[in-house]
Structure formats: structure tokens, C-alpha cells
Amino acid sequence: MASLVLELQREALNSTVPVTDLLRKALVVATKLSIKEFQAWIEYELNGYANLSDIPKYRLLSGSPKFVNILGGVNDFTPGKLGEKEKLSLLPTDRPIGEIEYLLKESGKNPLINMPYPAQLISEIAKNQSLPSRPFLLINHSSIQGLIDAVRNVVLKWTLKLEEDGILGEDMTFTKEEKQVASSHVYNIQNLIGHMSHSQFQQDTRDSVQTISTNDIDIGKVILILEEIKKAIEDITLPSETKDELSAEIATVETQAASPKPKMKIIKESLHTIRNILEGMAGSLLASGLLEKLKTLA
């Protein structure tokens, strides 16, 4: 007879199985075993998160704030309020996993994806300043894939734990003994997914400047300074080879910053190279100002 848990485990290992379908089957398992915590998490993923404070940290995505110009085209969104760009550079996405999978599929080979801001976040920032119409975050394709993979991994780890506890669900049915074992074990979802411990979003706050810090590197500040450096490159005379090297290092940091699991060693090495290039531009006041900001990152 087929085991429901092992079947779910095999599908979790199969990247061609949509995560939405995987979660529906996981919901059957959680419901039959009365594992309420996993049932609640699965329903959040399938239906979307009602409150940003409930969103797990793997749903925190990093990117560049943009908005659609009413005259046509897309522009950078640079809020006037101190700290708001840092907040808008990090998006806690509340959308159902099915919509996220659809966005990824529709993007094809496009390395960047437009993600609209959650209504709660827009409402919070709008208390402090006016917002342009249709603001969105431009996010790296790999970050969206990372979110989907994180959900798949949670299901996989959970099924492995169920199998370890002897809970298999033969022929779509769990025995009385299996249900008793499930009720006597604690399947803590937070151990697998974590909280929004690195979120910049704060409920009911005004005029607050927020940051996100990982291993002594402030990712939000890194993104802001890189934006300044990219704009400054246009006004600084540099050999083409140096300019290409600087652009490549900036792209490396941006890619890592957009990742759900940024590699701090790579970010620090690239930032060190960027600093060395700026230090070599003696006499440039613009470069000196950017260099001072870089020194505050770590």
C-alpha cells in the first residue's frame, strides 16, 4: 500500500511538482493528524498572510523601489522621508504561494520581477508622506525562487520527521496509533521557518528609522549606498576597465543582498574592492563622500 507521507516526501524532492500542489497534499496530512500549527502555516501559504507580523523571514525580499510614471515609463522611487527607502527596499510579501509561483513562471528568463507592495506597508508609509502611484519593488528572479524553495524544504523536513516517528499514512489513512504518536510529539513549525526576526516592518510606528542587520552588515544601508555609487559613476571620470570592475562588484553585492541567504563573505570582499577603487580616486570629493559612507557599513 502507498504511504501518504512518503509520497509527499518524494514530491517535495521533485522540483517539477508545483509547491501549491505540494502544500495541498501536506494540508491533508496535517488535518488528518490534527497538527494544528502546520495546518495553520499551510493555509497561510495557500491563502496569503492577513498580517505582516505573521510573515516568516524567508518571505522577506530585497530589491529596488520603483514606480510607474503617469507619463509612461518606470522611475526610481526615492522617498524624502529619512529611512523610508530602507523600509521600501525590503518587502515582506503576503501573497499566496500560487500567485508567487505564477509570477516566477511568467517572468521566464527575465532576471528581474516586479512585486507590488502589501497594502499594509503602503498604508504605514503613507502616514508619513505621499506615495507615487503604483509603487513596486524590482526583485531578483533568484530571490523569488529562493522563497519557493524555502517552502518546499519545510515540507520535506516535516515529512522526514514524520517518517522518523513511524507516521506513514498507508493508503491515505492514519491508524489510531499513528495519530496518538503525532499528538504526543511537538512538530514546531517555527524551528523550520523562523519568525520575521529580520523584518523592517513595525506596526503602529511613526517617524521610525529601521534597519536590517546580518553578521554586522546592514543590508538596507548597503543597498542605499550602492544606488548612490551607481549614479555617481556617471559623473566620475574613470578608465573603462576600472568602471567595468566597479560595476561588476556592485552587481555581485546586489545579487547577494537580494538572496534569501546572502553570503556575507562575498559581500564583504566586494565592498572591500569597491572601497579600494574609491580610495584610488584621489581628489574626487564625490568619491570621498561615498567612501566615508562605505566605512560605516561594518
Cell numbers linked to 6: 512518503
User: Do 238 and 183 share a structural domain?
Assistant: no
pLDDT exceeds cutoff 50 at 67 = yes
Q: How many CB atoms lie within 10 A of CB 1?
A: 9
17: cell is 511538482
SS3 for 106?
A: helix
**Burial zone of 233 (CB within 10 Å; 0-12 exposed, 13-18 middle, 19+ buried):** middle
142 plus 194 within the same structural domain: yes
Q: Does residue 185 share a domain with residue 221?
A: no
Cell 566586494, residue?
A: 270
Last residue of a domain, one of 210, 241, 271: 210
Give the per-residue pLDDT at 107.
81
Last residue of a domain, one of 156, 184, 210: 210
> Is 60 exceeded by the pLDDT of residue 29?
yes
Q: Is residue 50 domain-shared with residue 80, that is, in the same domain?
A: yes
The strand pair at 135-140 and 60-68 is best described as antiparallel
Q: What is the pLDDT of residues 95-108, one digit of tens each?
A: 999 999 998 888 87
User: Could you tell me if 282 and 252 are in contact, meaning their C-beta atoms sit under 8 angstroms apart?
Assistant: no
Statement to judge: residues 224 and 180 lie in one domain: no
Q: Which of 55-64, 71-80, 165-174 has the highest mean pLDDT?
A: 165-174
Are both 40 and 143 inside the same structural domain?
A: yes
d(CA 38, CA 43): 9
Which helix (H) or strand (E) is 94 found in, with range? none
User: Is the pTM value of this prediction over 0.75?
Assistant: no
pLDDT tens-digit map of 192-205? 775 444 444 443 33
Q: Supply φ then ψ for residue 64, to 5 degrees.
A: -110, 125
The answer on pLDDT for 77 being more than 80 is no
Q: How many CA atoms lie within 13 A of 58 on its CB side?
A: 19
User: Could you tell me if 194 and 78 lie in one domain?
Assistant: yes
Q: How high is the pLDDT of residue 136?
A: 80
Contacts of 275-281 with CB under 8 Å at 24 or more apart are 277/242, 277/245, 277/246, 277/249, 281/236, 281/238
pLDDT at 44: 94
Structural domain containing residue 52: 1-210
Can you give the pLDDT at residue 26?
96
Residues 227 and 206 in one domain: no
103 and 7 within one domain? yes
Q: Are residues 187 and 217 in the same domain?
A: no
Residue of 73 and 188 predicted with greater confidence: 188
Q: Which amino acid, 56?
A: P
Confidence band (pLDDT; 50, 70, 90) for 111?
confident
> Phi/psi zone of residue 48: left (φ > 0), alpha (ψ -120 to 50 degrees), beta?
left
Are 198 and 250 in the same domain?
A: no
pLDDT tens-digit series, residues 245-283: 888 888 788 777 766 567 788 888 888 888 887 777 655
- Give the count of domains, the chain: 2
164 pLDDT above the threshold of 50: yes
Q: Would you state the pLDDT for residue 12?
A: 94
Same domain, 224 and 199: no
> How large a percentage of the chain has pLDDT more than 90?
29
Question: If you average pLDDT over residues 11-18, what whole number do you get?
Answer: 94
What is the per-residue pLDDT for 122? 72
Of 177, 210, 243, the position where a domain reaches its end is 210
CA dihedral (278, 61, 13, 183) positive or negative: positive
